Amino acid sequence: ERDGFEHYMLKEIHEQPSALERAVNGRVTAEGDVHLEDFPSGSFAGVDDVQFVACGTSYHAALYARQLLAERGVPAQVFSAGEYATTPAPVDENTLVVAVTQSGETADTLASVRQADAAGARTLAVTNVVGSTAARECDDALFIRAGPEIGVAATKTFSSQVAVLSLLVERLTEDITGSPGEDRAGLLRALDRLPGDVQQVIDQSGPAGLADRFRDREGHFFIGRGVGFPVALEGALKFKEITYEHAEGFAAGELKHGPLALVTPDTPVFAVFTGRHDEKTLHNVEEVQSRGATVVGVGSEATPEVAATVDDFLPIPDTHPAAAGVLANVQLQLVSYHVADLLGRSIDKPRNLAKSVTVE
């Protein structure tokens, strides 16, 4: 059932190209339009406030979507569902509350949408599980079609969430601003080639050779900006979840505001480059290198200045920055997997964690 893979997590990492095919299949027309089943053009007309609620990895996918919306001039907010459930944001009938939840059963996320619904908001579940509570209780549902995910660590569902949320972002941009996002064609092209690009990352298996350097370290830091920021958070979450080693993710610009005090030769830093504002992130890399930290850069193979500055380089195919984050994340998934494997951790069922968190 694991198809010869040692762990479900590794199997699910390898399933990402086919999951991504399904996520996008039939949702982009030959004319380059977004075709989202129940949500034709105009479905979100009148929405003037977008609020995402989610937990864990799904929260990171929501942050990714918010970044894409912001780049298109559409403001949106992202709430940790555990917070929203106790301190909900004000809503009215023009508010769209989007619950991002793989399982559709996360208690805090359900509590959040129930409150939003009772307060009169429109609710939408972006979920993997047809028939889940979120899909049934929200006004609408959009499915990510990733297929079952057994490993407690979310891998393929993050990639599929981002792909489907990218399409939703395009629909929302068009409906809320009255015109499509200006780089829609580029984004849709990148989504179309994403399965092949992810396959290329998996085939390189770069992180396997690096894993040995990341045991017995004081801490591991992950930095990025733009969509690279949620990828940094997700990289750190996956790392701590399955290796049990200390890891933290930051917005690259936050380093100087505190975390830099923790940086030493014993704290490797993973830096995510998406092709947007890379030069600023390179400055941050130099800052941590001057404190003796070793930097693993994850970025496009077409950016020699990044490869030349970092200490180790994990390449991703050259693509649109909006898709580059997904590719960088696959490299970081593989880093966490190989380190956890080396340390003999219980990769598919990490201690203290459950696949779906059904209590608040």
Active site residue 11: no
Q: Residue 191 has which token pair?
A: 């989504």
Closest CB to ligand M6R: residue number: 56
Neighbours of 38 (CB within 10 A): 9
Beta carbon nearer to ligand M6R, 199 or 356: 356
Find the shortest distance in angstroms from Cβ 46 to ligand M6R: 28
Q: How far is the CB of 187 from ligand M6R (least distance, A)?
A: 24
Minimum separation from the CB atom of position 237 to ligand M6R (A): 6
Is residue 162 within 8 Å of 59, Cβ to Cβ? no
74 to each of 68, 100, 181, how far by Cα in Å?
Answer: 9, 18, 10
Nearer to ligand M6R, 10 or 255 (CB): 10
Task: Quote the CA–CA distance of 175 and 162 in Å, as a whole number.
Answer: 20
- Nearest to ligand M6R of 291, 355 (CB atom): 355
What's the closest the beta carbon of residue 340 comes to ligand M6R, in angstroms?
Answer: 12
Q: How big is the chain by its Cα radius of gyration, in Å?
A: 19
| Closest distance of CB 242 from ligand M6R, Å | 8
Query: Which residues of the chain form contacts with ligand M6R (CB under 6 A)?
Result: 55-58, 101-103, 106, 109, 152-154, 237, 241, 356-357
Q: Crossing angle, helix 184-204 and helix 321-342, to 10 degrees?
A: 20
Instruction: Name 261's Cβ contacts closer than 8 Å, sequence gap at least 6.
Output: none
| Phi, psi dihedrals of residue 345, rounded to the nearest 5° | -75, 165
* Residue whose CB is less far from ligand M6R, 114 or 291: 114
In terms of DSSP H, where are the helices of the chain? 8-14, 16-24, 56-71, 81-84, 107-118, 133-137, 156-177, 184-204, 228-243, 278-289, 304-309, 321-342
Q: Which is nearer to ligand M6R, 181 or 224 (CB)?
A: 224
Q: How far is the CB of 56 from ligand M6R (least distance, A)?
A: 2
Min dist. Cβ of residue 53 to ligand M6R (A): 10
Select which of 238, 256, 280, 355 is catalytic: 355
Positive or negative: CA dihedral 338, 342, 348, 352: negative
CB-nearer residue toward ligand M6R: 129 or 202: 129
CA 165 to chain centre: 10
Of 153 and 298, the one with the shorter C-beta distance to ligand M6R is: 153
109-148 CB burial, b ≥16 within 10 A, e <16: bbbbbbbbbeeebbbbbbbbbeebbbbebbebbbbbbbee
Residue written as tokens 């001039």?
A: 73
Residue 36's beta-bridge partner residues? 39
Q: 165 - beta bridge partners?
A: none
The residues carrying an active-site annotation are 355
